[in-house]
Homo-oligomer: A and B are copies of this chain.
Amino acid sequence: MPDQQQLTDKQRLTLGFIQRYIAAHTVPPKLQEIAEGIGISSRGVAHRYVQALVDAGFIKTDSGKHRGIRLLNVNTHNNESILPLLGKIAAGKPIEAIPGEDQIDLRDFFGDNNFAVRVQGDSMIEAGIMDGDTAIIRFCETANDGDIVVALIDETETTLKKFKRSHRGRYIKLIPANKDMEEMVYEASRVRIQGILIGQIRKY
């Protein structure tokens, strides 16, 4: 896997310019535009940087073709927990900027009181929580009606369900999000909350 750290400053700048250019124009830039974009005047130098990025595996070129740069599906990463949030996507116009929101901060997920569990089964599928997803849980022993919680039943059985009190708190309902499954009712003393769902993650 290519490593951005191996690039020189100008090579990194060039790669960033190409990505931004494509995101903005939907077509790749020509060498002249790259040169201007990174603050130089020589097409030859721009070509040298492009070639370095090809060698490093970040892009490929349709040799000779005008605007023949393609981004490859490479995966570079760093240690930050903040992602640029480009906008909304839907059936609609090109990605629409969201006013006042330009990044998503996941630091909430990484607190000391949090942990992750792998979800198994389809009991919450109508809440968009699927088999194999990762649920982010905050350690917590109390919950409000409507929270999705990790509940331990009779000290033996753990499950992820929507939480609801009934009979003034004497009973607790654990409600799946799957019409094929039924909600379960327990005496409050049999149920212990282990944590509340605060997030959900899926990797493809």
Copies in the complex: 2
Known: A4-B112, A125-B128. A139 touches B79 (CB 8 A): no
Q: Are A111 and B76 in contact (CB under 8 A)?
A: yes
Q: Nearest Cβ in chain B — how far from A141, in angstroms?
A: 5
Residues of B within 8 A of A129 (CB): 128
Q: Are B78 and A112 in contact (CB under 8 A)?
A: yes
Interface segment among A34-42, A45-53, A63-71, A164-172: the answer is A63-71
- Is A116's beta carbon under 8 Å from chain B? yes
- Is A44's beta carbon under 8 Å from chain B? no
Most central of A103, A130, A204 by chain B CB within 10 Å: A204
Per-position contact with B for A155-169: 1 when CB-CB < 8 Å, else 0? 111111000000000
Residues of B within 8 A of A201 (CB): 104, 106, 199-202
Nearest CB to that of A18 among chain B residues? B139
Q: Nearest Cβ in chain B — how far from A183, in angstroms?
A: 13
Residues of B within 8 A of A158 (CB): 89-90, 92-95
Residues of B within 8 A of A113 (CB): 19, 71, 74-76
Q: Nearest Cβ in chain B — how far from A87, in angstroms?
A: 6
Per-position contact with B for A83-114: 1 when CB-CB < 8 Å, else 0? 11111111111110010010110111111111
Contact of A117 among B95, B111, B130, B197 (CB under 8 A): B95
Q: What are 12 pairs between A and B in contact, CB < 8 Å?
A: A5-B27, A9-B67, A23-B80, A77-B110, A80-B107, A86-B115, A88-B117, A92-B120, A95-B117, A98-B118, A101-B118, A103-B116
Interface residues in chain A, defined as those with a beta carbon under 8 Å from any beta carbon in chain B: 4-5, 8-9, 12, 15-16, 19, 22-23, 26-28, 66-67, 70-95, 98, 101, 103-104, 106-121, 123, 125, 128-130, 133-136, 138-142, 147-148, 150, 152, 155-160, 192, 194, 196-204
Nearest 8 interchain pairs by C-beta? A90-B120, A26-B78, A76-B111, A77-B111, A128-B130, A200-B202, A89-B117, A73-B140
